Amino acid sequence: MCQDDFQEMLVKALEIEKNEDDDLKKILKEAGYLFVNKLVKAIKSIELAMDDLLQDDFEEVFSLISDLFNNSKKTPSERQIRKALKKRGFNKSFIDNISPLLTDSFNSIADEVAKELGSEFDWSLLSKQSKKEMEAWLKNLPKLMQLTTDDAVVKAIKEMIDGGAGIRDLERILSKMPEFSRYRARVTAITEGLSQYQSATYEAMMQSDAVYGFEWLHTPGYKEPRIAHQELHGTVIKKGEYFNVNGYLARYPLDPSLPAKERIQCHCRMEPTINPDYLKGA
11, part of any domain: no
Q: Is the pLDDT of residue 100 over 50?
A: yes
CA angle, residues 135, 94, 97, in degrees to nearest 5: 100
Question: Do 47 and 162 fall into the same domain?
Answer: yes
12, part of any domain: no
Mean pLDDT within 235-258: 94
- pLDDT band with cut points at 50, 70 and 90 for residue 17: low
15, part of any domain: no
Q: Is the pLDDT of residue 167 over 70?
A: yes
- For residue 30, the one-letter residue type is E
- The residue among 164, 190, 208 that closes a domain is 208
Residue 12 near residue 248, CB atoms below 8 Å: no
* pLDDT at 264 (0 to 100): 85
| Average per-residue pLDDT for the chain | 88
- The residue among 166, 184, 208 that closes a domain is 208
Q: How far apart are CA 281 and CA 170, in angstroms?
A: 68
* pLDDT at 278 (0 to 100): 66
Percent of the chain with pLDDT over 70: 91
Question: Do 182 and 42 fall into the same domain?
Answer: yes
Domain count, the chain: 2
Q: Which of 18-27, 74-83, 176-185 shows the lowest per-residue confidence on average (mean pLDDT)? A: 18-27
What lies within 8 Å, CB to CB, of 229 at 6+ separation is 218, 245, 253, 262, 266, 268
Question: Do 204 and 256 fall into the same domain?
Answer: no
Residue-number span of the structural domain to which 218 is assigned: 210-281
- pLDDT band with cut points at 50, 70 and 90 for residue 223: low
Mean pLDDT within 67-74: 92
Question: Do 192 and 222 fall into the same domain?
Answer: no
Residue 222 near residue 205, CB atoms below 8 Å: no
Question: Do 227 and 193 fall into the same domain?
Answer: no
